Amino acid sequence: MSNVVRTLALGLGLFLAACAAMQQQKAQASRAADTGEFHNLQVFPQNISHDELIANMRGFAKALGTRCDHCHVSNPPGSKEQLDFASDAKPEKNVARAMMRMTRGANDQIAKAVNPHGQMITCNTCHRGHTVPDVTAAEGGATPGR
Which residues in this chain contact ligand HEC in the complex, by CB under 6 A?
Answer: 38-44, 54, 57-58, 60-61, 64, 66, 68, 70-72, 85-86, 92-93, 95-97, 99-100, 103, 121, 123, 125-127, 131-133
Task: List Cβ neighbours of 1 (8 Å cut-off, separation of 6 or more).
Answer: 9
Min CB(92)–ligand HEC separation in Å: 4
Min CB(101)–ligand HEC separation in Å: 9
Min CB(52)–ligand HEC separation in Å: 11
> Among 86, 51, 53, 55, which Cα is nearest to 72's?
86
Yes or no: say if 75 and 82 are a contact pair by the CB < 8 Å rule.
yes
The full length of the chain comes to 146
Residue (26 or 130) nearer to ligand HEC, CB: 130
Min CB(98)–ligand HEC separation in Å: 8
Min CB(69)–ligand HEC separation in Å: 8
Yes or no: say if 15 and 23 are a contact pair by the CB < 8 Å rule.
no
Residue (25 or 42) nearer to ligand HEC, CB: 42
Residue (50 or 112) nearer to ligand HEC, CB: 50
Residue (74 or 93) nearer to ligand HEC, CB: 93
| CA separation, residue 64 to residues 39, 98, 106, 126 (Å) | 24, 15, 19, 9
| CA separation, residue 82 to residues 22, 29, 74 (Å) | 41, 30, 6
